[in-house]
Amino acid sequence: MRTIGVFDSGVGGISVLKEILKEFPNDNIIYFGDSLHAPYGDRSIEEIRRLCLKVSDFLVFDKEVDALVIACNTATGAAINIMQERYNIPVVGVVDNGVNEAINSTSNNLIGIIATPATVKMNIYPNTIFKLAPQNSVFQVECPLFVAMIENGWVDSIESDNLIKSYISKFSENIDTLILGCTHYPLITKYISRYFSGKIVNPAKETSKSLKKIIGDGKENLKYNPSRVFFVSGELQKFKKVAEEFLEQPIEDIRKIIL
């Protein structure tokens, strides 16, 4: 029976997992949230690479997953090429998938991206967009505080609202499409949409669809009872609370691990 490995620096990859669970209800899933080391996006590229290779080696070599989903933009930017070379299984990231949806959605060719400082620094979104659709203009805003606030359980307050407003107001152009370039951000879409009325792109759905194109839908597994195991390197209860709320289902098998 197949196992799909999904990982992120913490709870953000749950936005991708939610779509993976819809597309692959019959497969075993192992999720790894490296919350002890979140936010990745404040770290150097070398450090991000080192951290996420530890996680991916654990999933591929120890847990023998059959496909790997990098449910993290920062990790995708820092390490997807290395991982695709290193492992003999399909490795899918989130960036290309978000870009495809955004370039199909924009009418005025002005695309905005909000992401972690590391993702902005790596320029992976502008580079990918220009390669596929050079007619677009791309504007990036880094949102350094979001990940820590989401990991701790977002509180809807005047302060958090003002923070969203201050980040979104940095877009000087009239962008009509906004890519959530960090998998944590879909957890606060409803708050972001108070300040952005255009199309908000969450790369998660496209990511799980593109994985399905590569590995098929796993219907042959129908007779089994698929397992869902969560490994978390930081505080279990904090992770569980935020993840369950967004997933809208209980997490039963959750284990603490420090690699």
| Contacts with ligand DGL, residue ranges (CB under 6 A) | 8-9, 12, 38-41, 72-74, 116, 119, 147, 182-184
Tokens 């002005």 label which residue? Answer: 110
Query: Of residues 6, 65, 72, 91, which has the active-site annotation?
Result: 72
Q: How far is the CB of 134 from ligand DGL (least distance, A)?
A: 25
Would you say 80 or 218 has its CB closer to ligand DGL? 80
Give the residue with the Cβ less far from ligand DGL, 74 or 136: 74
Annotated active-site residue 143? The verdict is: no
Query: CA-CA distance, 101 to 104, in Å (whole number)?
Result: 5
* Prior bond of 117 cis (ω within 30°): no
Q: Choosing from 16, 111, 150, 182, which is the catalytic residue? A: 182
**Where do the DSSP E strands lie in the chain?**
3-8, 28-33, 67-70, 91-92, 110-115, 137-142, 177-180, 199-201, 228-232, 253-256
On the 0-12 / 13-18 / 19+ scale of CB atoms within 10 A, 23 is middle
Nearer to ligand DGL, 183 or 226 (CB): 183
Of residues 148, 153, 158, the one with CA closest to residue 182: 148
Which residue's CB atom is positioned nearest to ligand DGL?
41
Question: Least separation, in Å, of the C-beta of 220 and ligand DGL?
Answer: 32
User: Does residue 182 carry a catalytic annotation?
Assistant: yes
> Cβ of residue 174: shortest distance to ligand DGL, in angstroms?
26
Question: Which residues form the catalytic set?
Answer: 72, 182
